[in-house]
Structure 1
Amino acid sequence: MTVITSVAARQILDCKARPMVEVEIRTDAGAFGRAAAPTGSSVGIHEAKVLRDEDPSNYDGLSVHRAVSNVTDVIAPKLVGFEFETQRDLDDALLGLDGTVDKGVLGGNAIYPVSVAFLRAQAAEAGERVYEHIARGPLTTIPVPCFNVINGGRNRDAVQAFNEFIVVPAGAESIDEAVEMGVQIFKRLPGLIESATGNPATVGGSYGYAAPYGDPHSVLSLMQEAVAAAGYEGRVSFALDCASSEMYDRESKTYELNGGRVDSTALVGYLKQLTEEFDLLFVEDPLDEDDWEGFSLAVRELTRTYVLGDDLIVTNKQRLDRAIAERAAEGFVLKPNQIGTITESLDTFDTATENGMFALPSGRSGGVIDDIVMDLSLGLQVPFQKNGAPRSGERIEKLNFLMRAAQEIPGSSLSRIETLARY
């Protein structure tokens, strides 16, 4: 049994200098756990609510003092002095205090860091690393990192409908080599962008390079050039996070693409052409977060890749159940702050695993140095994970985590994803 002796909370900053909630938990055994609540830039409407103060005089309305108060004034009195045997016991208490589906009363950004801090405190009590505490069996593999090297959106040079263009060092023999491959490819891109466009490369919203073209095909071709320039031809695959909800118009039910607007059928047809020309390991969020028919169409048509749901599923077991029933996805992006507690995240993971689906752990664009998704990736033994661009501190730390883990786990090896790929 774990007895919580103190719960403290404060406002700190994420990697984009936006306020977020940080929580610290201490137990009567002298254990300590700390966690913060990251936030994405592309946030699905079905995610747990991020409670902000909305006071324009304080961080332009983004401060989180109300959520901090909910931790110290509402949550803490119900936890301090009480015994909790398991993570589920603690998380059930948090869910009972809020009482809403979207954590709209206390805020997902108040509940989530409490859940993660407790996980870390219990691991400390057990004398285990957090990923060991999470593990369901032997730890034998290190997940392959996926690098978001080019960012879409409305950039200086182009309006690129797809959000993330990703390189996957599928042919790496070790985690050290996989990291070096991602870094070396990334280093080749600015020179290629400047040579192709005549303009210096700029930094995108998620710290990759801003897409210099509106045509996704041209961006993928540029990435192929970078792979060749780095000397890794035949050893690297690609992936896409379309984040299509960002470019969807609900009135016309159309998506922005290549300067025009297309319906779901045309968008899936275009993606099918890309998968036939490029080795794409997965395509994430190819349709809007509520376009279930479009997702089902994508699963039927994109047979050379995997269709994953992020905004579609938001780490929510109920939405995953629907995706399974409608064959609307072949995996989901595991972002525990989307749902709000560790237990709910693991329940969704277990459901996916039982149904032969992938879970792709991912940080958020407004990330943190010490991100629990890394422990989840390793502890749950996923084959690959999203690590972001190899540029900013919290993203570099994710890579360092994997390289340390390879040394901490004797006999471990890099996951072999070539056998999983459909291209």
Structure 2
Amino acid sequence: MTIIENIVGRISILKGGKYSIEVDVITSSGFGRFAAPIDENPSLYIVEAHRAVSEVDEIIGPELIGFDSQEQELIDSYLWEIDGTENLSHIGANTALAVSVAVAKAASNAKNIPLYSYIGGTFTTELPVPILRFAEDETFEYLVLVKDLMEISDVVDAMAKIKEHVKSINLQELSRASEIAGDELGLEVSLGIVQKKEMDIEEVLQKVEDHNISYIKPLGEEELFLELIAGTHGVFVDGEYLFRTKDILDRRYYNALSIKPINLGTLTDLYNLVNDVKSERITPILAEAKYESADDALAHLAVGLKCPAIMLHENSVVKINELIRIAEDLGERGRIITFEG
């Protein structure tokens, strides 16, 4: 029932007209499909996408036919073996992720259970807090958070209220609008900011202190992160910059880490990193890549891996709606994970 009978690759168009690879995994009683996102400059990705399709059709697919799609870790390990490099530079992380997630989807489909339940098991009942990216200026990208939300849709309502009351896109104006939105909705609405350029440590600290901010993704050296951890309370300091540039995974520097599956490779790699992050008492936040497909798998991955938060773009309605469906599917068993810094 779960033995892989065929694997097919094809070109997939992502939002913004960018190109990647989509993979179908077919078993005798199951089917899985996933289009990999991309996160870097995609100017050459049409060439890379065609090469990836050839890799799947001519090398990866034939090698994996006959494997049991339930053997996720074995298949993911074999993808690394087929690649033969330390960073998936041969077959590409997007190809590895497309195959890996499609395999998991095929196995869950054969078992007739949702992907989140297949990944997380019987006791998967927790829903992540959605964080929505909705605006930017020259200094920051802006996100909206609702830390005490009761329904997934609360964060959408908060974003709409902020837009209703904002007059211009800047930190001071958005902070004011977020406080008004919180008062009107009776929710704890706050902002998240992502630095787009480096700033003086004191300036960053002052902006966090003076505005309604509960999340920041800093851009700078270790000292900035240490100062933010020491100088703020109840604020999520996201260490993605330190983790990706200096391989630092340490609670002393940051208390949250946004994780984009495309930066890792396989589903097993994602699972292992999420567990490593949790073991350091750091909050894992599953995040969209810059260019995504309309696939709803990220919502299932966040629930199945028990990530306390998921970071989405305001236009990612497919993933937001899928979170709402998962909440409905869980019913009274479901609860939103407590999201505290």
Q: Report the TM-score, using the length of structure 2 for normalisation.
A: 0.89
Cα distance per residue 1:255-291 (max 9 Å; x no partner): 3xxxxxx5xxx2x32221122222322212x124xx4
**Alignment partner, residue 77 of structure 1:** 62
Instruction: After TM superposition, give the deviation of residue 170 of structure 1 in Å.
Output: 2.4
Give the corresponding residue for 1:99: 84
Counterpart of 1:270? Answer: 203
Give 1:381 deviation, angstroms: 2.9
Deviations 1:228-252 (A, max 9, x none): 268247620111122x5xx3xxxxx
Task: Tell me the amino acid that sits aligned with residue 238 of structure 2.
Answer: L
Report the counterpart of residue 30 of structure 2 in structure 1. 31
Amino acid at match of 2:216: V
Matching residue of 2:13: 13
Secondary structure of the structure 1 residue equivalent to 2:139: strand
Normalized per residue, which structure has more helix? 2
Partner of 1:199: none
Question: 1:175 offset after TM fit, Å?
Answer: 2.2
Once the two structures are TM-superposed, the CA of residue 307 in structure 1 deviates from its matched residue by 1.5
- Aligned equivalent of 2:336: 414
Matched, 1:176 2:153: yes
1:209 matched to which residue of 2?
none
Secondary structure of 1:356's partner? coil
| Match of residue 240 from structure 2 | 310
Matched, 1:351 2:271: no
TM-superposed CA distance for 1:374, in Å, is 0.8
Q: Does the CA contact (< 8 Å) of 1:363 and 1:371 recur in 2?
A: no
CA contact (8 A) 2:143 2:192 kept: yes
Segment of structure 1 superposing worse, 299-308 or 331-340: 299-308
Q: How high is the sequence identity, in percent, across the aligned residues? A: 24
| 1:323 equivalent in alignment to 2:249 | yes
Cα distance 1:349–1:37, how it changes in 2: closer, same or farther (>3 A)? same
Correspondence for 1:125: 110
Q: Is the 8 A contact 2:72 2:268 kept in 1?
A: yes
Contact 1:38 1:368 in 2 (8 A): yes
C-alpha contact 1:7 1:25 (8 A) present in aligned 2:
yes
Cα distance in structure 1, aligned partners of 2:146 and 2:223: 32
> Structure 2: how far apart are the matches of 1:366 and 1:399?
16
Q: C-alpha displacement at 1:34, in angstroms?
A: 0.3
Match 1:224 to one of 131, 156, 176: 176
Compute the displacement of 1:356 (Å): 1.2
Deviation string 1:345-386 (CA, Å, 9 cap, x unpaired) is 110111111221100011123111114221122123333221
Q: Is the 8 A contact 1:169 1:182 kept in 2?
A: no
Distance 2:191 2:255 in 1: 17
Paired residues of 1:237 and 1:280 also in contact (CA < 8 A): yes
Residue type of the alignment partner of 2:139 = A
Structure 1 unaligned runs (5+)? 44-49, 153-159, 194-211, 213-217, 248-254, 256-261
Superposed CA deviations along residues 296-327 of structure 1, whole A, max 9, x for unmatched, are 4443444451211224335x9x93xx322x83
Give the TM-score taking structure 1 as reference length: 0.73
Give the number of equivalent residue pairs. Answer: 339
Partner of 2:325: 404
1:136: how far off? 4.9
CA contact 1:31–1:121 (8 Å) conserved in 2: yes
Determine the C-alpha separation between the residues in 1 that align with 2:157 and 2:336. 14
d(CA) in 2 for partners of 1:187 and 1:10?
Answer: 42
For 2:161, give the aligned amino acid.
Answer: Q
C-alpha deviation, 1:84, in angstroms: 5.3
User: 1:88 is matched with which residue?
Assistant: 73
Quick check: 1:388 aligned with 2:313? yes
The 8 Å contact of residues 178 and 212 in structure 2, kept in 1 or not, is answered as: no
Judge conservation of contact 1:307–1:329 (CA < 8 Å) in 2: yes
Whether the 8 Å contact between 1:71 and 1:111 is mirrored in structure 2 is no
Structure 1 residue aligned with 2:225: 295
Cα gap change, 1:86 to 1:187, in 2 (>3 Å): farther
- Whole-angstrom distance in 2 between the partners of 1:298 and 1:416: 22
Task: Decide which of 123, 127, 139 is 1:161's aligned counterpart.
Answer: 139
Find the counterpart in structure 2 of residue 360 from structure 1.
Answer: 285
CA distance in 2, matches of 1:186, 1:62: 39
> Hey, what's the Cα distance between the residues in 1 that align with 2:227 and 2:174?
28
Preserved contact between residue 6 and residue 76 of structure 1 (Cα < 8 Å): yes
**2:188 alignment partner in structure 1:** 235
Cα deviation, residue 227, structure 1: 4.8
Moved more, 102-111 or 296-305: 296-305
Match of 2:49 in 1: 64
In 2 relative to 1, CA 75–384 (structure 1 residues): closer, same or farther, beyond 3 Å? same
Structure 2: which amino acid aligns with 1:399? I
Would the alpha carbon gap of residues 397 and 174 (structure 1) be closer, same or farther in structure 2, given more than 3 Å must change?
same
Aligned partners of 2:162 and 2:177 also within 8 Å: no
Over the aligned positions, Cα root-mean-square deviation in angstroms equals 2.7
**Retained in 2: the 8 A contact 1:275–1:304?**
no
Q: Distance in 2 between matches of 1:123 and 1:79?
A: 18
Deviating beyond 4 angstroms after TM superposition, the runs of 4 or more aligned structure 1 residues are none
Contact 2:69/2:104, CA 8 A, preserved across alignment = no
The one-letter code sitting in structure 1 at the alignment partner of 2:32 is: G
Structure 1 distance, partners of 2:174, 2:71, is: 49
Q: CA deviation at 1:180?
A: 2.4
Q: Unpaired segments of 5 or more residues in structure 2?
A: none
